[in-house]
Amino acid sequence: MTPRAVLEAAIAAAVAGLLAAFALRALPERVPADGMLPLFAVLCALASARLGSREEAEESRSHLGLWTVPLLLLAAIGVPEEFRLQAWGFLLAAALTVAVVSAMTRGSLPVAAASWLLAVAGGVRLFPLEPRGSAYALLAIAGGIGLLFATAHHPLFLRDPAAERERDVGAGAFLLALAIVLVAPLADWRGAVLPALAALTVLAVRSGRIDLSIASILLGLAGGFWMAAGAAAAMVGRIAGAWLRPAGLPVAVPAFGGVTLRGAAAALLYAPGGSLGFLAAPAPWRLAAAAVLAVSLIVRPLPGLVLSLVALLLLVERPGPLDRRFAAIPGGFAFGLMVMAGFSGALAPVFPAALPFELRLVLTATAVVALLVPLSSIAALLAASGAVVSLAALPVPVHSEQAGRSLAPGDSAVLAAPGASGDLRLVLSGAHVAGLPAGTPFATVEILNREGRGLRRVVEMGEVADWGAFRSGSLRSAVNRFPLEPGVRIEGIGRDAWLRGEGAIEVGSDVSWLRVSAASTLPPDARVLVERMEILR
C-alpha cells in the first residue's frame, strides 16, 4: 500500500466511524449489540482500501466494498434487533469478500495485502471494547499476520517452490490464518497466542519434509484428544521417513481406535497416506477413505470446518499461478467465516463441532469432491452438490413452546405435546454437569403417542451438555462435548458470545404426552433442564 492509499483508507474509516456514531446518537432505543456499528463501519471502510496501484484498484473495483457503509446505516434503522447483528455481519462479509476477490484477481495475494485483509477481518474481535480483551484480540491478529509471513516463505505454501523470490501468500494459507484468527478463543492469553504458536510451528518445520502435517499440527492445537493424537502421530510418521507412507493408513486406523468413526476419521486426517497425504495415495485408497470420511462427517459432529479448510488447501494450493476463475472460492469462504462476525466468540469453545447439520453436509460435499476429483471438473460437482444440499438447508419453521422445568436426580415431569403437527423434538440441557463425560446417563424420556403406544429413550451426556459449558470462561474446566444435534442458541455478542449447551432430542411425530426423568445416578446438585419443545414442519 502506498502512503496515499493509507491516508485515503484512514480518512474513509474515520468518516465512516463518525457517521455511524452520529447515526447511533440519533436512535433513542439501543441494545448493546448496536455498539458494534461504528466498529463495523470502520472495518468496512478499511476493507475497501486499495491494495495495489490506483490502476489495479480501479480494475479490481475494490472501492465497491465501501458501499456497505451506507447499507450498514440503513440496516441500523431498518432491520429488527434480532436480525441486525447478522445483517451487519453479512455486509462486513460482503466488504471483505469484495476485498479478497479483488486482491486475488491478479492471480496472487501479496503478503502486505493479505496482512491488511487479515487485520481488518480480525478487527471484529475487538468488540466488546475493553482493554484486556482488546489486547488479546490484537495479539491474535498479530499472530495471524506472523503466520502469513511464515507461510509466505514456506515450501508448502509457495505457488512455485522453484522460485527463489516468492513473496505471495497462497489462498489456502490466507484462509487458514483467517480461520485461526477468527476462532481463536480470547478468554485469556493462552487462546490469543494460538495464531502466533501456529506461525512459530510453521517456521520451525520449514524443511519441507514434513510439509503436509503442518495443518494438522495447527488444528491439533485447537482440537480435542484425537486431534492432538493424530497430529503427534503424523509428526512422528513424517519424521520417521517415507517408508511408513505406503502402510500408513492401515496401520493408523486401528492405532487411532478405528472401531469408532471418530478414530477412523482422525486416522484419515493425520496418518501418513491419510487425507493430508491423499494426493500421493493410490486411487482406491482415496476413494475408500473419502467414503468413510463422508459417512463420519454426516453421522458424527466431526471437524467439518477443518476439513473444508483442508479441502480448500488442496483445491488452491497447487504449483503455478492461481486460476483467476477460482478467486471466488476463498472469497466465498471468507464470506462464510465473516457472516457470524458479530458472534465471533461462540465458535472457539465448541470448535469444531458447532456446525449446523446442513453446513456439515455442504462441507462434507466440498471435502469429498476436493479429495476425489481433479481441479478441472470440481466446479461441476460443487454446483451439483451445492444445489442438492441447499434443499436440505432451507430453514423449516419451528413452533417452539417453552417448558422451563428443572429436575433434580430421580425427579420426573410430565409434559403435554404441543398441538401443532410435525416432528417433535425436546430441547434439554443440564446444570452442574459440566464435569460429566460423554456417555454418562443423563435422563430418560418416555413418549406416549396418539395411538396409545409408548416408547422409551435414554439420553446421555454428549447428546446434551451443561447449559454454560461453552462459555469462554469454562473453556478449560468443562469436559462436556458439544451436543450432536445442538439446540443452537447463541447468547451474548462479539467475542463474549457463546452457545448454550442445549441438545435436541428427536421424539417423533404424533406425540401425545412425554415424561422426562432425571437419571438418579447424577450428582446430587446436578439438574436436568427441560428447556422447550419444538415442532419441525
Residues 329-348 that bind other proteins (CB under 8 A): 329, 331-332, 335-336, 339-340, 343
Task: Choose, by CB under 8 A, the member of 282, 374, 395, 404 that binds other proteins.
Answer: 395
Work out whether 406 is an interface residue with other proteins (CB under 8 A).
no
Cα angle 464, 459, 481; round to 5: 30
Work out whether 8 is an interface residue with other proteins (CB under 8 A).
yes
Tell me the C-alpha distance between 187 and 498, whole Å. 11
Residues 6+ apart with CB under 8 A from 212: 156, 276, 277
Tell me the C-alpha distance between 526 and 409, whole Å. 7
Tell me the C-alpha distance between 61 and 98, whole Å. 8
Joined grid coordinates for residue 499: 452457545
Task: Choose, by CB under 8 A, the member of 37, 43, 69, 228 that binds other proteins.
Answer: 69
- Size of residue set near other proteins by CB under 8 A: 68
Work out whether 356 is an interface residue with other proteins (CB under 8 A).
yes
Task: Select 215 or 354, whichever has its Cβ closest to other proteins.
Answer: 354
Work out whether 58 is an interface residue with other proteins (CB under 8 A).
yes
Work out whether 325 is an interface residue with other proteins (CB under 8 A).
yes
| Backbone torsions φ then ψ of 464, nearest 5 degrees | -130, 170
Tell me the C-alpha distance between 84 and 71, whole Å. 12
Is residue 322 within 8 Å of residue 107, measured between CB atoms? yes
Task: Choose, by CB under 8 A, the member of 6, 10, 31, 74 that binds other proteins.
Answer: 74
Least CB distance from residue 237 to other proteins, whole Å?
Answer: 33
Task: Select 429 or 517, whichever has its Cβ closest to other proteins.
Answer: 429
Task: Choose, by CB under 8 A, the member of 56, 67, 510, 513 that binds other proteins.
Answer: 67
Least CB distance from residue 79 to other proteins, whole Å?
Answer: 9
Work out whether 10 is an interface residue with other proteins (CB under 8 A).
no
Task: Select 12 or 526, whichever has its Cβ closest to other proteins.
Answer: 12
Distance between first and last Cα of the chain: 52
Residues 468-497 that bind other proteins (CB under 8 A): 487-490
Task: Choose, by CB under 8 A, the member of 6, 10, 31, 77 that binds other proteins.
Answer: 77
Task: Choose, by CB under 8 A, the member of 6, 27, 291, 414 that binds other proteins.
Answer: 27
Work out whether 115 is an interface residue with other proteins (CB under 8 A).
no
Q: Does a cis peptide bond (omega within 30 degrees of 0) precede residue 32? A: no
Tell me the C-alpha distance between 524 and 69, whole Å. 54
Work out whether 318 is an interface residue with other proteins (CB under 8 A).
no
Q: In what order do the strands lie in the sheet with 454-460?
A: 412-416, 511-518, 441-449, 454-460
Nearest C-alpha neighbor of 290 from the set 360, 369, 200: 369
Work out whether 240 is an interface residue with other proteins (CB under 8 A).
no
Beta bridge partners of 186: none
Task: Choose, by CB under 8 A, the member of 3, 80, 282, 284 that binds other proteins.
Answer: 80
Q: Write the CA distances from 186 to 39, 135, 138, 434, 499, integer angstroms.
A: 18, 9, 10, 20, 15
Query: For other proteins, what does the binding mask look like between residues 374 and 393, x meaning CB under 8 A?
Result: -----xx-xxxxxx-xxx-x
Least CB distance from residue 336 to other proteins, whole Å?
Answer: 4
Cα angle 463, 288, 390; round to 5: 55
Least CB distance from residue 291 to other proteins, whole Å?
Answer: 22
Work out whether 397 is an interface residue with other proteins (CB under 8 A).
yes
Q: Write the CA distances from 414 to 337, 401, 511, 534, 536, integer angstroms.
A: 42, 14, 13, 16, 21
Query: Using CB under 8 A as the criterion, which residues of the chain lie in contact with other proteins when the complex forms?
Result: 8, 12, 15-16, 19, 22-23, 26-29, 48, 58, 63, 66-67, 69-70, 73-74, 76-78, 80, 82-83, 86, 89-90, 325-326, 328-329, 331-332, 335-336, 339-340, 343, 354, 356, 358-359, 362, 366, 379-380, 382-387, 389-391, 393-398, 487-490, 537
